[in-house]
Structure formats: C-alpha cells, structure tokens
Chains A and B, each alone.
Chain A
C-alpha cells in the first residue's frame, strides 16, 4: 500500500468515527442511547438498514460470486421488497403502539416473561457468535492479501466500532452508517467505472456486456423450477421472503434501526426505501463482478486468486507440479485471447453461425481452464491440507490491489472496513440493548434509575465488543468456522421466527403453549442437527413450522384458559 492509500483509508475511517462520536455526544438517558430519542428521519433509517445488512463479505464475496456464477444471485433478494411491505403493515404499528425498545419486549405483552426471555437468550447466543465472524471474515482476507497481522486487523476493526458505539449508542450507529453507505456505494461505483475503463480500447461497454452474456454471466432471472438450484425466481420469492421476514422482523440488529424512527411513517419509509433500492444495489455489485470477469478475458488472471495460498505450495515438494499448472494456465490464456477477440468480432456482425462458432471455441478453452483451476485447488489441498481452496472471496480485492491506482486502493479498503464496521456496530448495539432491556433491567436489577441503565448499556456494548474481538482472534483455530456459525444461527433462527410468527398471526396460541412449543421445536432442531443428515438451512424452516404446529396442538390440550390480552 502506498502513502496516499493510507491517507485515504485512515482519513475516511477517522472522519467517520470522530464525526459519529461528536455528533451523538452527551446521551443522557437510556431512551436516547437505545432508541436515539426517536428522532431518526426515514433516509437515515433506510441507509442504516442497508448498511447493517451489507457486511464486508457482501463487498468481498458478491463480485467474486458473479465472477464465478454470473448475475443470478440477485434473485435471492426478490422476496425482500414484499417482506418490507408486510413488516410495514403489520409489525411496525404494533412495536410503536407498545413503545418497545426491543423486538423481544413485545413478546411479554403478547405472551409472557418466560417466552420473551427465551427468545432474547436465543438471539444473544446466535448474534454474539455472528459479531465475531463479522469482524473475522474480512480481517482474514485483508490480512492474507495485505500481509497485515490478523490479530491487529481484528483489533483495529473492533476497537474503532466500540469507540463510537459505546459513546453514542444507536444514534451513533445510524449517523455513521449514513457516511459508511456513501463511502461503500461511492467506492463501488468508482471501481465499476475503472474496470470498464481498463477494458481494451477496441472493446466497448456494449461488447463487454455481450461477451459476458455469451459466457453465461448475464443469467439474471431463471423461471425454471428446480429444488436443487439454490438461486432461481421461485427460491428467491419464497426462501428470500422467509429469510427477509425473519431478519428484518425479529432480529434486533435490524429492528433497532427502525425503532429509532421519528414516527411510524418515518420507520415505514425507511424500510420501503430499502425495499426499493436493495435489489438495484445488489445488481450493481454483481455487475461489477461480471465486468471484472470480462476484464480477465483480456488480461491474464492469477492462476489462484488467493496468491498467498498458492505461494505456500511453492515452498513444498509440490512446487514443480504448480509450475506446470502455471504454464498450462498461461498457454490457455494466450489461446483464449484470440478466441475472445474473435467472439467480439462475431458479435458485431450479428451472424448467428459465426457467433455460435466463436462462443463454442471460447467455451471450450474456458472449460479447459476450469480443469486446470480444479487441479490447482486439489494440489493446494494436498500440499497444505489446512488451506482454504475457495478463492472467489479474493477475486475483487485481488483486482483492486493489482490494478487500481494509488488513492483508490485506500478508498476501496475504506469500503470494506466501513461495511465491517457498520454491521458490527448494529450487532453490538442490538446485543447490548437486548441484554439490558430484556434480561438485566427486566429480571436482574429491576428498580434502578435511568442513569444506571444508561451506564449498564455502555458497559454491555463494550463487553460484547470485547467478546467479539476475542472470538474473532481465536476464530482461526477452528475449522470451517463460518459454516459452524451459520449452523448455530440456523439452529436458533427458526425457533425465534416461529415464536414471532405465532405472536403476530396465530392469535389462538397463548403464552404457555408457545413457550413449550418453542422448547420442543428447539429439541427437534437439535435432534435433526445431531442425528440426521438434513442440510442446516432447513433447520430454519423446521424450527419455525414446529413452533406453530406444536403450539396449536398444545393450546388445544391446554384449552383457552390463558386470558392475557393481545397487542
């Protein structure tokens, strides 16, 4: 990294942190600290919601995903706008009427204390682990690419977030997220512009998109139905809707964003703003990945984008094999150059026969290159068994580091750090508010003054931040850690969603029934995890459906004796 990059990176992050602390200084009570005095306007809420969802991995992985698999990942977000409308109509008015600080607080008025505490505890376990990964995942990639110390990178991200989140609470999170979103989108648009500019002079933007299309990367929508296909229109509209409802409706890191709104209307507009812009935003990020793919049709890509993993093989007895694969890779690229230019020329003629012939030639070489890349992955796994053989997360950052000029590298790194910080800040804020409001204030220290709970909120924010850093620091000691955390999340998420689904839509079921149903559902999910081969993503559905089904059965046997009033 050059001096200008350091200035841009540290200047951008420093400004955001100092601005966040200064702008939100002097929170005097828990209302201001955890709900931002209900002063947030809709654009702040909307940007804050988008920044919370967009973690560093979004900006590192998504372009890589498009490079490998094309645009079709955008379909995953098709259910999100529908979820925003449903939550705006049903969830927001209830939360506002009850003046809740957390989503789980609502469960006490709808059911009882034990159900509220259970949901809060399930959230704390799941989100507490996720906060560590939100820091660790970008830190491991950045430290690998830049040669930085992993522990220091973890500490750098974690401490910056703790500074302004402890100081200004939820308002600081939302205020800084506005700047972070501006940096993220500005940086990505500049990167997109640069990658198109770096295409050969003889290749226009239209040629680039046409080449991407002929190489299967412009596959944005697929209406065919296939259970085994992860991303198509149907899975996006159903699974995407289901996930968005649970994430935006029951996860405190998102609920806190819109609970800080000035009014129901501001909160609704914030969510609808996300519903309007989320898909175009993901489309742009994916499209940048596709343009990086086209760029590498005219410029030789690395044999393996995580070059540090490849270099480690050169230090072993397998070095000659790696050298041979490098030679094959270069030869295939040189061969491909002619074929790709031939495809561009054919596309300009509109001659379908010529286009099909050129496309087949390019495809043949691409398939051969894939075989070489798979051989490289197998060799890396053989030579260094602990190494990660998936390199798509390194595609975009590798392009940034190698081709962007001084200053822009710093800006793109600021994008990644901003994304890591924005989602971590929301998580720490949500963890602290749930700990204080749903556990500490409700069940541990009930009769303290406002200042006591404000101080407790700050202490818990710092404590959760420290825990996240510690978890991120030791994360590398575990194998497949990201998958492990996803599994843990799926184990709890379904049950939490089931409880909320019953709370909002199944009025027949009451407190005792839903509590027992939630415990039974959790037991079923745990049984599935330990004793079956069911894929962990299904745990979300199983947990949710089990809560509803068990709830109905148990309520039937208990009878309608519970006379708790509904919200």
Chain B
C-alpha cells in the first residue's frame, strides 16, 4: 500500500506554490525568523 493511501483526505490537498504543507509551515516559521532578525538589526542600528 502506498504511503499516501493511508493519509486522510485533507492531507492530500496540496497548498498553492508548494508541494506539501510542511513547506508552507516552514515558510511561516522562516518568515518569523527573518522578521526577528530584521527587527534585531533595526534595534542595533538605531539604538
């Protein structure tokens, strides 16, 4: 049996732009890391 066969239907629904949901989640977490880094740089430059 294929691995996908045992997954519930909602897991099979693909997100836009990415092949799977894991990549979408990494985008959100990566964006958070980018924003924190950017804010840290702003804090350092202007303090």
Q: Is the CB of A280 within 8 A of B10?
A: no
Q: Is the CB of B10 within 8 A of A264?
A: yes
The smallest beta-carbon distance between B44 and chain A, in angstroms, is 9
Q: Which residue of B lies closest to A93 (CB)?
A: B10
- The CA-CA distance from A84 to B27 in the complex, in Å, is 12
- Contacting A at CB under 8 A, from B29-46, are 29, 31-32, 35-36, 39-40, 42-43, 45-46
- The CA-CA distance from A96 to B10 in the complex, in Å, is 9
Q: Is the CB of A213 within 8 A of B10?
A: no
Q: Which residue of A lies closest to B28 (CB)?
A: A275
Q: Is the CB of A210 within 8 A of B46?
A: yes
Q: Is the CB of B24 within 8 A of A220?
A: no
Instruction: Decide yes or no whether B3 CB sits under 8 A from chain A.
Output: no
- Residue tally, chain A, CB below 8 Å to B: 37
The smallest beta-carbon distance between A293 and chain B, in angstroms, is 13
The smallest beta-carbon distance between A240 and chain B, in angstroms, is 11
Q: Is the CB of B15 within 8 A of A218?
A: no
The smallest beta-carbon distance between B39 and chain A, in angstroms, is 4
- Contacting B at CB under 8 A, from A178-228, are 209-210, 212-214, 216, 218-223
Given A93-B8, A210-B46, A78–B36 Cβ distance below 8 Å? yes
- Residue tally, chain B, CB below 8 Å to A: 24
Given A209-B46, A218-B42, A220-B43, A263–B10 Cβ distance below 8 Å? yes
Q: Which residue of B lies closest to A236 (CB)?
A: B36
Instruction: Decide yes or no whether A276 CB sits under 8 A from chain B.
Output: yes
- The CA-CA distance from A279 to B11 in the complex, in Å, is 28
Interface digits, A83-95 against B, CB 8 Å rule (1 contact, 0 not)?
Answer: 0110011001100
Q: Is the CB of A265 within 8 A of B13?
A: yes
A/B pair count, beta carbons within 8 Å = 79
- The CA-CA distance from A494 to B30 in the complex, in Å, is 30
The smallest beta-carbon distance between A76 and chain B, in angstroms, is 13
Q: Which residues of B contact A521 (CB under 8 A)?
A: none
Cross-chain contact of A269 among B11, B15, B35, B42 (Cβ < 8 A):
B15
Q: Which residues of B contact A220 (CB under 8 A)?
A: 39-40, 42-43
Of the listed residues B36, B43, B46, the one surrounded by the most CB atoms of chain A closer than 10 A to its CB is: B46
Q: Which residue of A lies closest to B26 (CB)?
A: A85
Instruction: Decide yes or no whether A272 CB sits under 8 A from chain B.
Output: yes
Q: Which residue of B lies closest to A266 (CB)?
A: B13
Instruction: Decide yes or no whether A9 CB sits under 8 A from chain B.
Output: no
Cross-chain contact of B43 among A221, A269, A276 (Cβ < 8 A):
A221
Interface digits, B1-32 against A, CB 8 Å rule (1 contact, 0 not)?
Answer: 00000001011011110000100110111011
Given A74-B39, A219-B43, A233-B36, A264–B13 Cβ distance below 8 Å? yes
- The CA-CA distance from A84 to B24 in the complex, in Å, is 11
Cross-chain contact of B47 among A84, A218, A223, A269 (Cβ < 8 A):
A218
The smallest beta-carbon distance between B13 and chain A, in angstroms, is 4
The 7 closest A-B pairs by CB, nearest first: A213-B46, A264-B10, A218-B46, A220-B39, A265-B13, A81-B32, A275-B28
**Supplied contacts A219-B47, A265-B15, 14 more A-B pairs, CB within 8 Å:** A82-B32, A85-B25, A88-B21, A89-B21, A214-B46, A220-B43, A221-B39, A221-B43, A222-B43, A233-B36, A263-B13, A268-B15, A276-B28, A280-B35
16 CB-based A-B contacts, threshold 8 Å: A81-B28, A81-B32, A85-B25, A85-B28, A89-B25, A93-B10, A213-B45, A218-B43, A218-B46, A219-B43, A221-B40, A223-B40, A264-B10, A269-B15, A272-B28, A276-B28
B interface, CB within 8 angstroms of A: 8, 10-11, 13-16, 21, 24-25, 27-29, 31-32, 35-36, 39-40, 42-43, 45-47
